[in-house]
Structure 1
Amino acid sequence: MPRAGRTLITNIGELVTNDPAPDRDGGPLGIIRDAAVRLEDGRITWVGSRASSGAAAAGGDAYRDAADLDTRPASPGATRSPDIVDVGGRAVIPGFVDSHTHLVFGGDRAEEFAARMAGRRYEAGGIRTTVAATRAATDDELRARLAEFVAGLHGQGTTTFEIKSGYGLSVADEERLVRLAREVTAEVTFLGAHVVPAEFAESPDAYVDLVVGEMLDACASHAKWIDAFCERGAFTAEQSRRVLEAGAAVGLGVRVHGNQLGEGDGVRLAVELGAASVDHCTFLSDADVAALAASDTVATLLPGVEFSTRQPYPDARRLIDAGATVALASDCNPGSSFTSSMPFCIAVAVRDMRMTPAEAVWASTAGGAAALRRTDVGVIRPGARADLVLLDAPSHVHLAYRPGVPLVASVWKDGALVA
């Protein structure tokens, strides 16, 4: 990755900070017009109006050594001196935080997708197809494919992402999936409780014994989180509780897949266990919504799943109006949502989940950070990581207003240009 240096990004027409203040527009978005941002050594060190950016640029010797700066050409339409990036009045937002992906896997399930589009119902059991392909892949094959996915994430503006295991479902394969994921992100989730593998089809409780015993022992050192798919066709509430409590007992944070295929116990279990996030939330009772609103568990919605499975979309408006915290994530996986594009997820959420453009952008940045219990990403303020996205547009609204158009012009991660 390019070395982070010292950079002043200026002439920003609209800067979405997610750091609201009385003198800023956009409510939670904390918008500054005609703005500038200073980046130094991978962190944001100053944010403010362009009119006052001269003092920031002049700060000590911060901008006197051109050798300390990333001097690759700016994107079309931007001009750059060795230390200043003029973005020509375009918008800048925080880097997207994708808090739910499954990026380490072998094969694909294009034929399954085609069958669904022809009318076949989506079922969780298709995961076993990917398990077989993943077990057959070598570490180097999985690592190379993962590198391609990471480059794609960066190119679409995602600077922080979580990766789950769950396509190995044996001790050795789950261990290598979390180990490979840890090479590219700190946000690694052990998801041995994805589905019951074929070899345990007649003894699911014995598989849970394996997950909470030898498999957890092998995977915990590589992971930050533990997750369970609490759903029909996957794991019962009792089985999921065993897995999640075992993970928490060894210091892993709790996440839950829940309420994807129908109303169930996932949300209740997540809130009871203090999970950082419960993901999917497609089918919710009034009690589920009330429980989420009264807790700090984030409802992470995955619009790519409903787009790819033709299930009903979750009702984000209902959750937001009740006071729940909502995040958006891609759920990039080969079966039910093979997209890594957060701009696409924003457009779908606005069109089909009753979110405003501002709510969807917040949910894809600050909301994703909340789902990972992070305060150093998803926001543009001094001290935060220097993760920013320059849009080839004057406003964040264009992410939903111009769906499918590649609006990500440049991406900084930890202060270095990565796309």
Structure 2
Amino acid sequence: RSDEYVALVTGPMLDACAPHAKWIDVFCETGAFTVAQSRRVLEAGMARGLAPRVHASQLGPGDGVRLAVDLGAASIDHGTYLTDADIDALAQSSTVLTLLPGVEFSTRQPYPDARRLIDAGVTVALACDTNPGSSFTSSMPFCIAIAVRDMGMTPAEAVWAATAGGARALRRDDVGIIAPGARADLVLLDAPTRVHLAYRPGVPLVRQVWKDGTTVV
């Protein structure tokens, strides 16, 4: 009854949610929603002023990446199984690929080759995807460590992907960076260098936290 559910999502459910939301998201995957169904969901949301996002290529290769790029999605989550054509399409688009190392750690799927993606010109972000089904961690330092050890990223690339890359996936320029006019959301590490985020996984390194310029920890 997936078509009936899509009709519910794009009709009464969207009517109720759209005034309170910014994004429209869909899981385009074998066993979830087809490309045609995913397009219906995304285009219905876009018609209501919502920006598209897509979960794709987590369980195997598919056409979700091309759909996301065609519709100008802000980001694609997962990207565990990507074809050369997927990577070329992403590299020529403004769509961010958000990698989720905690998922592969929890599900024992292969880690995406971030080195290949970055070298091809794809904008990469990192996130935890904390959930009880496929990613059991909320530790960004842990995800950074995995990205460096198992996905081919340098520490600098991993930190950028976890901060500025995440901001780009949200199409925001006021967070994820330290710059005049940005929000003063800052973390001070008790470490000699950012490299220790990857070098010492599991070790608490946070000394102080600021939110909107106010010390909270």
Q: How does 1:3-402 map to 2 (within 5 A)?
A: 203-402=1-200
Alpha-carbon separation, structure 2, partners of 1:354 and 1:242? 36
State the Cα RMSD in Å.
0.6
1:142-182 deviation digits (Å, cap 9, x = unpaired): xxxxxxxxxxxxxxxxxxxxxxxxxxxxxxxxxxxxxxxxx
- The letter for the 2-side match of 1:358 is A
SS of residue paired to 1:390: strand
Counterpart residue number, 1:413: 211
TM-score normalised per structure 1: 0.51
SS of residue paired to 2:144: helix
Shift of 1:385: 0.3
Alpha-carbon separation, structure 2, partners of 1:285 and 1:363? 21
Alpha-carbon separation, structure 2, partners of 1:363 and 1:404? 19
Alpha-carbon separation, structure 2, partners of 1:238 and 1:352? 34
Alpha-carbon separation, structure 2, partners of 1:243 and 1:270? 12
Shift of 1:418: 2.1
Alpha-carbon separation, structure 2, partners of 1:268 and 1:413? 37
What number of residue pairs does the alignment pair up?
A: 217
Shift of 1:350: 0.5
Alpha-carbon separation, structure 2, partners of 1:222 and 1:290? 35
Shift of 1:221: 1.6
Detail structure 1 runs of 4+ shifted over 2 Å in the superposition.
none
Higher relative contact order (CA 8 A, sep 6+): 1
TM-score normalised per structure 2: 0.99
Shift of 1:409: 1.3
1:16-72 deviation digits (Å, cap 9, x = unpaired): xxxxxxxxxxxxxxxxxxxxxxxxxxxxxxxxxxxxxxxxxxxxxxxxxxxxxxxxx
Q: Structure 2: which 5+ residue stretches go unaligned?
A: none
- The letter for the 1-side match of 2:117 is L
Counterpart residue number, 1:49: none
Identify the structure with the greater strand proportion: 1
Alpha-carbon separation, structure 2, partners of 1:249 and 1:234? 23
Q: Which has the higher Rg, Structure 1 or Structure 2?
A: 1
Counterpart residue number, 1:169: none
Alpha-carbon separation, structure 2, partners of 1:416 and 1:367? 24
- The letter for the 2-side match of 1:402 is R
Kindly, what percent of the aligned residue pairs are identical?
79
SS of residue paired to 1:317: helix
